[in-house]
Structure 1
Amino acid sequence: MTNPDNTIISTSTGTRIPTANAILESSEPLYLHPAESSHPIVVDTKLSGIDNYYEWKRQMEIEISIKRKLGMLTGVVKKPTNDPLREAAWTTCNSQLIAWMLHNMEPQIKRSVMYSNTAKEIWDYLQRQFSVSNGARKFRLNKKLYDLEQGDKSICEYFT
């Protein structure tokens, strides 16, 4: 049973045990407001693949940054190993980030990442999977752009 003072009352001993939020300031990245767990982050675009990865990624970065959790995805906020309460807070935040990301993915992508251990693993995997650029396509598009003309002038000549 959780109390307003961020303690749990043990049912067997009746003693108060501090929760992870009891040691955290609300401005810390590991602090998770009680309302955050019941409200998923929802972005306009569910990740469906390479076609919308960059749009999805940017929307997620903005939303997760608002929640002060972006450092967990970039690796700046690492899992504490010498403090059990902070480690518990990190684990809770990690699970929350995973839930937020999974909520904004199409089922086929969700199935491929849902058993990852950390949100950072998922974030890095998606980056490797979907940020691959197509060099040949990029070359063709650049060539088409270079070859465009306005009347008898190239685009560069026309605009200058």
Structure 2
Amino acid sequence: MSTDIKIGISSPCYLGSGDQPSNLITHVILKPDNYVAWSRAITLSLKARRKFVFINRTLAKPMDSTIVLDWDTVNSMIISWILQGIHPKVVESIPFHDNAKQLWDYLESRFCISIGPRIQQLPAPIADCHQIISMFVEYFYNKLAGLYYELNRLNPLHVYSCGKCSCDVVSKFTADRREEIFHQFLLGIDDDYYSGVRSILLSQVPPVNLDRAYQEFTQEERARNIARERVVKEENHAFALQAPHSPDGRIDGSDKTKLVCRYCKQMGHEQSSCFELYGYPAWYLERRHRSRAG
């Protein structure tokens, strides 16, 4: 390729105006304990950009000097993207690599736990995966699905390689794994809120699948949240009628430090807006999760 030929948008060496070294191409940040989830997110993002060929060596560094500059440019961009997706404290300990594939292999060898021990460890967190108080159904589902994804990656289902099997054993193994996740999902769901929905799902004939169960639980969660919001609005309205007013007619509620919740006994809010009573919003759970992981 001569230097005056424009690189097509379908080429792996194409970079658009929005492709910058500082881009964060995935919101999953690599830490010492989440390599599998991070590598999956980075892989999908690079494939969406037609750049994963730099990682799996499908597109090796060319010998032609007329195109090697384009390859080097994209290779350096991928290295920047990968480093942007790593926690700053971890990045400080990573040695310099000028080849994206070499950096990828280094990260896998360092952070991907040995297959044998990890396969032995995974059943325990899967069995212990439960929806705790104030955890949304979606967050619980994603956590359980992530554990099974790691299990499938390290211990994939058996497939036939002879090319003569006609019983479709692969789909049967896949169905068995999906049913296993389905029952684990039902076991881990919160009994206090969703035992009724779970009983209905288990009694249906033919049995429902995992996707249908997830939809039913999220719909029930949404209905509960709507009911909670209605209660909050009614209590706020009642409070507005009873609350003392300032001389100019406005409700005197600016000083929240004097408020005490009748439910959790904590200061700074009222029972009508108590997260512990009505559920924690997504932004609060995400912020608390980041602070603990941080």
Normalising by structure 1, report the TM-score.
Answer: 0.67
Which position in structure 2 is the counterpart of 1:117?
Answer: 98
Which position in structure 2 is the counterpart of 1:85?
Answer: 66
The whole-number CA distance in structure 2 between the counterparts of 1:72 and 1:29 is 8
Question: Cα offset for 1:36?
Answer: 1.0
SS at match of 1:60: helix
Instruction: State, as a whole percentage, how many aligned pairs show the same letter.
Output: 27
The whole-number CA distance in structure 2 between the counterparts of 1:66 and 1:136 is 32
| Counterpart among 30, 52, 65 of residue 13 in structure 2 | 30
Question: Cα offset for 1:114?
Answer: 5.2
Check the 8 A contact 2:22/2:80 in 1, yes or no. Answer: no
Q: Greater share of helix residues, 1 or 2?
A: 2
* Matches for 1:7-156 after TM superposition, within 5 Å: 18=3, 22-37=5-20, 40-49=23-32, 51-82=33-64, 84-113=65-94, 115-133=96-114, 135-136=116-117, 138-139=119-120
Q: Deviations over 1:117-147 (max 9, x none)?
A: 111111011111122236456446659x9xx
Segments of 5+ residues of structure 2 without an aligned counterpart are: 127-294
The whole-number CA distance in structure 1 between the counterparts of 2:123 and 2:28 is 28
Higher relative contact order, structure no. (Cα contacts within 8 Å, ≥ 6 residues apart) = 1
Question: Cα offset for 1:62?
Answer: 0.7
The whole-number CA distance in structure 2 between the counterparts of 1:69 and 1:57 is 14
Which position in structure 2 is the counterpart of 1:7?
Answer: none
Check the 8 A contact 1:98/1:118 in 2, yes or no. Answer: yes
Check the 8 A contact 1:102/1:114 in 2, yes or no. Answer: no
Cα gap change, 1:139/1:64 in structure 2, threshold over 3 Å: closer, same or farther? closer
Question: Cα offset for 1:23?
Answer: 4.1
Which position in structure 2 is the counterpart of 1:14?
Answer: none
Which position in structure 1 is the counterpart of 2:138?
Answer: none
Check the 8 A contact 2:12/2:51 in 1, yes or no. Answer: yes
Check the 8 A contact 1:30/1:90 in 2, yes or no. Answer: yes
Q: Which amino acid aligns with 1:70?
A: F
Question: Cα offset for 1:31?
Answer: 1.5
The whole-number CA distance in structure 1 between the counterparts of 2:25 and 2:122 is 33
Q: Deviations over 1:54-112 (max 9, x none)?
A: 00100001111111000001111111112x23100000001100110011101233223
SS at match of 1:34: coil
SS at match of 1:37: coil
SS at match of 1:113: coil
Cα gap change, 1:45/1:74 in structure 2, threshold over 3 Å: closer, same or farther? same
- Would you identify which runs of 4 or more consecutive aligned residues in structure 1 move more than 6 Å? none
Q: Greater share of strand residues, 1 or 2?
A: 1
Segments of 5+ residues of structure 1 without an aligned counterpart are: 1-16, 146-160
The whole-number CA distance in structure 1 between the counterparts of 2:24 and 2:37 is 15
Structure with max Cα Rg: 2
Which position in structure 1 is the counterpart of 2:148?
Answer: none
Normalising by structure 2, report the TM-score.
Answer: 0.38
Q: Which amino acid aligns with 2:30?
A: L
The whole-number CA distance in structure 2 between the counterparts of 1:103 and 1:61 is 14
